[in-house]
Structure 1
């Protein structure tokens, strides 16, 4: 199941609806990128307004080191000519729809990363500001570079390699399990209701979520809608 499409023309994200035969509840998976065009976030918000529950990503609490790791995507929108914006829940999530946030705390996130080899952990902290500067200078073109792509799920060959890497596992495994547990709870409590549960998480989390919904509860992808993350100028 393709989640993110990167071409010479731009980047697209697939909103995937998963359903289970005989179950009125459905899950709508929104693969998010932390940096995108404002129109992408506007399209996502419009669709979220028609959902009944939102399950959203978001690490609890603050940490200087977590902040350092997010510099890569926080630098990019600061160059106005890039036409990009940073994801902002204050404007993305409609306050009329109930939200669940099953993510880890900043301390838990750092504990997982500290299990990596020390040189890998230190390299991540040092590299983030460097990549952020590259994104800020290059703008949308950085998305299209095979080596500097900032999409959460890179092109297929690299995505498969990165998904099995210790870094990817440290950053996603615990969070994916918490997310699936939260979705399972909603399904157990409200599975007989004709509601749509939106899952608003980074695209790198979506393959594991889709697989978990399929293997644990029998949900299958039934519809997909492509949204343009940004177009190449």
Structure 2
């Protein structure tokens, strides 16, 4: 299934609902891009108000290494003409809806990266800020270099950092497992309740979410709508 659509006019993200036969519980998956137009985040916030629980991405704790990796997100909004902002969870989350944070700690995330070969680890740590500068200079066009490739990082950054599957696994595997464990617990404890559970994670994690909910618990995508992430200037 297509999660993010890239055209010459816009980038769009597909918000979709997953249901299981015989269960009133619904998982609503929000494939996020961590830098987008303010309108995109406003659209997400409005839809989160209709949910009963939010499962939110977010590495817990701080480390210099994690800060380096996220420089790409923080550089882009500094050029006002880009019309982009960084995802701000304080602004994104509506009041009154419980939030669950199943993500890894900063120490765990960096431990997975340090397990890579030294040269690969060094490349990752150097590429992130360099590609962040490219993203800041080029703005939304950084998303539009390759058709249908956008996930939760600009393709220029992914090309440098994720060409090696080892890097991709280091960045996502433990985090995906931790998320699916949390979703499995929600299913086990609340599958008989008519509730909507929002899963708000970077688009790069969504294939694992869909596969895990389908194969593990029988939830399948049923309804979807497109939200505009950004329109290049």
TM-score in terms of structure 1 length = 0.93
User: In structure 1, how many angstroms separate the alpha carbons of the residues matched to 2:153 and 2:72?
Assistant: 15
* Aligned-residue offset at 1:129: 1.2
User: Do structure 1's residue 207 and structure 2's residue 207 form an aligned pair?
Assistant: yes
Contact 1:4 1:154 in 2 (8 A): no
Aligned to 1:32: 32
User: In structure 1, how many angstroms separate the alpha carbons of the residues matched to 2:224 and 2:164?
Assistant: 26
Summarize the alignment of residues 69-88 of structure 1 with structure 2, pairs less than 5 Å apart.
69-88=69-88
**C-alpha distance after superposition, 1:116-139 (max 9, x if no partner):** 111111111111111111111111
Aligned to 2:43: 43
Aligned to 2:68: 68
* Aligned-residue offset at 1:163: 9.1
Contact 2:151 2:202 in 1 (8 A): no
User: In structure 2, how many angstroms separate the alpha carbons of the residues matched to 1:22 and 1:46?
Assistant: 28
**C-alpha distance after superposition, 1:109-166 (max 9, x if no partner):** 000011111111111111111111111111111111239x7642788xx99xx59811
TM-score in terms of structure 2 length = 0.93
Q: Which SS does the other structure have where 1:227 is aligned?
A: strand
**C-alpha distance after superposition, 1:27-67 (max 9, x if no partner):** 00000011000000000000000000000000010001110
Contact 1:18 1:26 in 2 (8 A): yes
Aligned to 1:168: 168
Summarize the alignment of residues 122-161 of structure 1 with structure 2, pairs less than 5 Å apart.
122-146=122-146, 151-152=151-152
Kindly tell me: are residues 43 and 171 of structure 1, through their superposed partners in 2, closer, same or farther at Cα, counting changes over 3 Å? same
Q: Which SS does the other structure have where 1:119 is aligned?
A: helix
Q: Which SS does the other structure have where 2:17 is aligned?
A: strand
User: In structure 1, how many angstroms separate the alpha carbons of the residues matched to 2:13 and 2:229?
Assistant: 6
Aligned to 1:193: 193
Kindly tell me: are residues 56 and 49 of structure 1, through their superposed partners in 2, closer, same or farther at Cα, counting changes over 3 Å? same
User: In structure 1, how many angstroms separate the alpha carbons of the residues matched to 2:146 and 2:77?
Assistant: 20
CA RMSD of aligned residues (A): 1.9
User: In structure 2, how many angstroms separate the alpha carbons of the residues matched to 1:232 and 1:171?
Assistant: 28
Contact 1:142 1:150 in 2 (8 A): no
User: Do structure 1's residue 96 and structure 2's residue 84 form an aligned pair?
Assistant: no
Moved over 3 A (4+): none
Aligned to 1:222: 222
Contact 2:13 2:226 in 1 (8 A): yes
Contact 2:143 2:154 in 1 (8 A): no
Aligned to 2:21: 21
Number of matched residues?
228
Q: Which SS does the other structure have where 1:24 is aligned?
A: coil
Structure 2 gap ranges (5+): none
User: Do structure 1's residue 108 and structure 2's residue 108 form an aligned pair?
Assistant: yes
Contact 1:163 1:169 in 2 (8 A): no
User: In structure 2, how many angstroms separate the alpha carbons of the residues matched to 1:163 and 1:20?
Assistant: 35
